[in-house]
Amino acid sequence: MNPGKIEKPIIIIGCPRSGTSLLFSVLRHGHGLASLYNESHGIFDRFYQRQWSQGRQYNNDSLSDEDLTADDKALLMDDFYHYSAFAYPNYRIAHQSEQYKTSHHLLWKRWIDCRFLYERGITKFLKIRQRRQIRLVEKTPRNCFRMPFLNQLFPDAQYIFLKRDGKATIASLIEGWIRVNPYMRPPGNPTVTIPLNIKGIAEQKWHFVLPPGWEDYVAKPVEQVAAFQWLSANRAAIDGLAQIDSRRVYSVCYEDLIDDTETTLKKLCEFIQIPYTGKIKTYGQELPIVPTVHGDAPRQDKWRQHEALIQSIYPQIVPMMQELGYDPDDFNRA
């Protein structure tokens, strides 16, 4: 049973490579906020494993409200609470380990280390922290496909929908597919193997989000796969957020976060009702550098490295660009 409570969590929704890591890196420093210091893959992997053990099959990232039972809700809330309650001290432990250098799945290691510290009674701080209420900041791009599920799990959550120009996002997805990186994953149910033959990449493992219908893209060119992921993630996010009280939803453009950082962060803080102080205020003057696929700082025009590929899929993404508020004729904005 959860000894504490998560209330009014802040959930950042957005396609991979749209700037969600940057926004998360800023907001998790907000006054009174907690986080997992990472994405929630470990928590959801545990959920899926329970479902698979009971004979239920999940072959993509989509979850509906019907997928959440009372027992699952209790277990997920307990996991989110404990992971976030112990995240900071164990984040430091994980960063000192060799495993951190070779694996991006830290959640299980954190949980084991934190339970060890707590059960041994090494620090009173953890015991006190375990009893307090938590306001969580969560960011996992796969959540675009779990909106009804999340709304059932966190009925008082506030959502920040981060949008980004399709050209830049798809180009970054393409780069992530081409390069070996920690976003590779087995597609769908681990008991089911569908061979990939995606044109343009060397290592045939699925990268980033797994939308419904991904099976139709296992032998497509990489630019079509990336466009499919961008379109699917934004479509699912828009449709899911439309079912939630608009007072709990705030949309922001990545370009505004970059070009008018202070104003954008002030408005975000007002929406989630936290003071614009401390480290967030510092980031209002200079945003943190979040590593990219290349390991360098993001640039607005980097998409032009894949301009020919973007042009080939551009007609497919124009309607969504317009729906997100971008001018599809402005081929210079990224």
Question: In this predicted model, what pLDDT tens digit does every residue of 172-231 receive, in sequence order?
Answer: 999 999 886 656 665 555 545 678 899 888 878 889 999 999 999 999 999 999 999 999
Q: What are phi and psi of 312, to 5 degrees?
A: -70, -30
pLDDT tens by residue, 127-155: 445 556 889 999 999 999 999 999 999 99
Average pLDDT over residues 152-178: 95
Q: Tokens 């299980």 belong to which residue?
A: 108
Q: What is the CATH number of domain 10-323?
A: 3.40.50
Q: What is the C-alpha to C-alpha distance for residues 10 and 34, in angstroms, rounded to an integer?
A: 10
- Encode pLDDT of 238-268 as tens digits: 999 999 999 999 999 999 999 999 999 999 9
Given a cut of 80, whether residue 36 has pLDDT beyond it is yes
Return the DSSP state at 248: G
- What are residue 251's DSSP bridge partners? 161
Question: Is pTM, for the whole model, over 0.95?
Answer: no
Helices (H), 96-248: 98-102, 107-119, 124-131, 147-153, 166-178, 222-241
CA-to-CA distance for 117 and 325, rounded, in angstroms?
49
Report the candidate in 25, 47, 46 with the shortest Cα–Cα distance to residue 36. Answer: 25
Residues 6+ apart with CB under 8 A from 68: 76, 149, 152, 153
Question: Domain residue spans in the chain?
Answer: 10-323
For 270-325, how does the pLDDT look when each residue is reduced to its tens digit (9 = 90+)? 999 999 999 999 999 999 987 655 445 555 677 778 889 999 999 999 999 999 99
Minimal CA–CA distance to 258: which of 317, 333, 178, 159? 333
